[in-house]
Amino acid sequence: MFGKKSSELLLNESGRSYLAETMQVEGDFHYAGAVDVAGLINGNVYGKDMVILETGSVKGNVHVNKLNINGHVEGQIVADEISLGSNAVIKGDVLFKTYLKTEEGAEIDGYIKGSRSKNNITEEEDKDIEEIQSKLEFGKPKLVKDNKKEAV
């Protein structure tokens, strides 16, 4: 009465959820709206709009429409729009539909693929990604002695 809002309306006034620094989620994380992550998610993420703050971390695959990363992700990312801040660290493949924007300093250790088709990944692309992932990583260079003294 007299213009006071109920507590339910105050809780969701911004329309965004917040996973605080001191919070940790174990298992798959499904949400309908938008979420800001400052804590840790150990599991796959499915939703619409996500911001991973500098203190935020996801250990699992991320499947969202719009993603802004300033923290860490260990796992495959599939999204329509991806923005990586200068503090972003990605360890996994990045697959995007519309655009990928990166600021100087962002680190990506994985395969990057853009696709403008309705399905982000086709079966052929899946095979290509699996082939790349199955290749052995290069180690330190080894000295190979050769008796030939000719310059090539």
DSSP code at position 136? P
Name the token pair of 134. 């199955």
For the stretch 71-92, pLDDT in tens is: 999 999 999 999 999 999 999 9
Residue 88 CB contacts under 8 Å (≥ 6 apart), including other chains: 52, 69, 70, 71, 72, 73, 102, 103, 106, 107
For the stretch 94-115, pLDDT in tens is: 999 999 999 999 999 999 998 7
Bridge partners of 66? 49, 81
How many CB atoms neighbour CB 86 within 10 A? 12
